[in-house]
Chains A and B, each alone.
Chain A
């Protein structure tokens, strides 16, 4: 029996009815990963350990969590004790973490099985998965096209039906944009909702872990497990975590959805715009009401982000010095030379570019002009969100201005071209707000994503609105043709 493309709920039914065992399910998932190895979704497969774990699992139907015996993939920036964790970088290509990230531990404590670590943009810096030391990931919908990034391996593994769900991280859109490009659902929770402990840092005030799955319902199952306070992360939120499945079926009649005036959607590709108008109509038919809202500073999100994120990155990545862990250069003449050579050999071009920009923005004489200025604009952006959420429940935008594109077709001559891919996603990271991307049709046989942004800690509203949409449409059930890949 094929388990490919099955949801977590469907897999639970198969396990409960004993149509399949946990070992068979794990084996099947690993076989799919191998069968579609050309996609390059995985940096490391956890075959031996996951099969061993599966064979020892006693699945008690009555008391089992919904994740018990379910195969998952983890983005390769979550530390996994004893299992290589590379961040898709040469500098960590041999790194075996001495501990496991809280997120992975929580998911595994609920019975899930980590079948492997997924490919990504190096240190999560990119929007196309092309900056990985281990090579780009192919979009399951079209060979030679990017899956989006930075959680491109996770998105492609879910879209190809290898696993029902995977973890990702989102610093400026890195869950939502690949989810959109691969035709799946991806949720970036509120900043602080999920522990960052053991998650290799890129930009600490923006990074947030979240789930990627084939439906909002499966995302809710993962979010239930991943969320919660962790004393090991000082930015972890000590607030109640609701059961995200509880109200997921509620009617959305009377929900107020805002359309952001400053995003001029008429500049978009006509077909992308058409999908957006159709989804707006679908939400109206479900009883939602639409309002035009103004976020006067939102257009400044991209420059704000590209000042703050590289600054935090340059600080976080200063730990890679070839001394305690990671790549170490040979034949160095002194300690300084060891630092310079280890880092220069270990980091790829995009990572270097961002470290340099961040170093510049933080250096004497420029700190106020670039870094502090960006953090001031960030407050203006957050204030704008606070204002609009007084009168509306959700905001709706496209996830990305475009569909997936061909390898090496963007950002080669000018990196800013690729940075503008994040136009619609970045602002919720700056403000710390939750946002979700759901598939809502295709353009030229490639999936297009719809983004909903929610108020602080209102992932329940996002999942509810996404689930109700999916109950009344079929876009999330579309499958790529992988037989002739």
Chain B
């Protein structure tokens, strides 16, 4: 894993790493990738992945109208909002 790969992953994850920590992070990531890379030696041909230990289909509930509007409570947790929306920096000029 080189610095360029670390920079790409950081961008994909929308994270910035302090300059003085980047070498340590790169080294840590290399060590962890080496750990998880050890799985390559296990033969998994014809083995279906197990994404969830229950392997159940999600339970479907009846399509009933429910009223549980907590808009004000949710908006209150935002750093910036008006009475209807979350506010973000302008995205369209």
Contact = CB atoms under 8 A, between A and B. Distances in A.
B77 A325 contact: yes
B88 A338 contact: yes
A370 B86 CA distance: 37
Interface string A119-159: 00000000000000000000000000000000000000000
A68 B52 CA distance: 35
A307 interface: yes
Given A300-B42, A356-B9, A338 B89 contact: yes
A303 B77 contact: no
Nearest to B72: A98
Interface stretch (A265-273, A347-355, A462-470): A347-355
Contacts of A431: 53
Interface stretch (A35-43, A170-178, A230-238, A445-453): A230-238
Given A349-B21, A377-B42, A234 B32 contact: no
Interface in B1-21: 5-6, 9-10, 12-17, 21
Interface string B60-87: 0100000000100110111110000010
A356 B15 contact: yes
A32 interface: no
Contact of B14 (A99, A191, A343): A343
Contacts, number: 165
B14 A432 contact: no
Interface stretch (A216-224, A396-404, A412-420): A412-420
Contact of A340 (B15, B50, B53, B79): B15
A258 to B, nearest CB: 19
A379 B48 contact: yes
A422 interface: no
A382 interface: yes
B61 A231 contact: yes
Contacts of B16: 340-341, 344
A300 B43 CA distance: 12
Given A303-B36, A356-B13, A379 B29 contact: no
B61 to A, nearest CB: 5
A134 to B, nearest CB: 20
A375 interface: yes
Contacts of B40: 369, 373
B78 A324 contact: yes
B73 A98 contact: yes
Contacts of A339: 14
Interface in A368-409: 369-370, 372-380, 382
Given A98-B77, A303-B35, A306-B35, A375 B50 contact: yes
A443 interface: no
Contact of B31 (A359, A376, A414): A414
A325 B74 CA distance: 8
B28 interface: yes
A209 B4 CA distance: 39
A199 to B, nearest CB: 16
Contact of B15 (A334, A344, A376): A344
A297 interface: yes
**Which 10 pairs, one residue from A and one from B, show the smallest C-beta to C-beta distance?**
A432-B53, A375-B49, A328-B79, A98-B73, A376-B44, A379-B50, A325-B77, A344-B16, A234-B58, A307-B36
23 contacts: A98-B70, A205-B51, A234-B58, A236-B59, A300-B42, A303-B37, A323-B78, A323-B86, A324-B86, A325-B77, A335-B88, A344-B17, A353-B28, A356-B9, A357-B36, A359-B12, A369-B40, A376-B48, A376-B50, A380-B44, A382-B50, A415-B31, A416-B31
